Every structure is written in C-alpha cells, then in structure tokens.
Amino acid sequence: MISVDEIKQVMVVRSDLDMGRGKAAAQVAHASLMSYFETERADKKIAKEWLDSGEKKIVLKVGDEEALIKLYNAFKYKGVPCALVSDAGLTEVPPGSKTALGIGPWRSAEIDQFTKGLKLL
C-alpha cells in the first residue's frame, strides 16, 4: 500500500516524437536532474527524504507537446517543483522541442492528482 506521505519523482515523456530508446532515456535523465534541483531549492527536507528512501521514480507518457505543457503549467500553478526539458535539436528532434517533464520528488498525493490517468512509458 502506498503511504499518503510517500515521496516520489515522476518523469513524463512525449510519445509522439518517436524518440529512440537512448534518446528517450537521456531526456528522462535530464528531467530527473533538473526537477530534483528544483525540489532541493523549494524544500530541502523533501529532497533529502526522497534520497534517503530509495529515490522512487516513475516514467509516464503523454501524446503531444500540448499535453506536456498543460501538465507543466498545472504543477507550476500548484507550487509543485518541476522542470520542462527543451531539446537542443542536435540529434533526433527539432531544436526547442519540449521532450519531457520532471515532477518532484514531491508528495505522491499531489503528483497523482494530475498524473493518475497517464500510462507507463
């Protein structure tokens, strides 16, 4: 059973870009680090708790850039630390493409409000 106070990090990747597995993995890594640093700035206690509890991560997908940006805006509005990845465009996707979103680490209940309907990557 998931604790209401559980801390996790969620990365959301666009599925419409048809990125290769390596490219998608790199985008998830960018999202994870960027979002972790946002959490560390916002709440050092939550960041430390996440590190001390095994660094739970989940990777989900959305269908397009509009859905990704909508999620980003929802989390920003709620004050949940997050980071949107914009690709440099050197390999598989056009420059400036929004490829992934990192959310948290943060309280699961606050993340799940917006991500519970998304499927695993």
Q: State which residues form the domain around 88.
A: 7-120
Q: Which helix (H) or strand (E) holds 92?
A: none
Q: Mind listing the pLDDT tens digit for each residue in 41-69?
A: 999 999 999 999 999 999 999 999 999 99
Q: Render pLDDT for 63-82 as a digit per residue (tens, 0 to 9).
A: 999 999 999 999 999 999 99
Sequence-distant (≥ 6) Cβ neighbours of residue 1 within 8 angstroms? none
2 in any annotated domain: no
Q: Classify residue 100: in a domain, yes or no.
A: yes
Q: Is residue 49, in this structure, part of any structural domain at all?
A: yes
CA angle 28, 106, 50 (to 5 degrees): 80
- Say yes or no to pLDDT of 4 above 70: no
* Average pLDDT of the chain, as a whole number: 95
Pull the structure tokens for residue 13: 């990747």
Q: Is 2 helix (H, G, I), strand (E, B) or coil?
A: coil
Query: Is 1 part of any domain?
Result: no
pLDDT tens per residue, range 78-107: 999 999 999 998 999 999 999 999 999 999
Within 10 angstroms of residue 76's Cβ, the number of other Cβ atoms is 12
Tell me if 31 is assigned to some domain.
yes
Q: Report the domain count for the chain.
A: 1
CATH number at 91 reads 3.40.1490.10
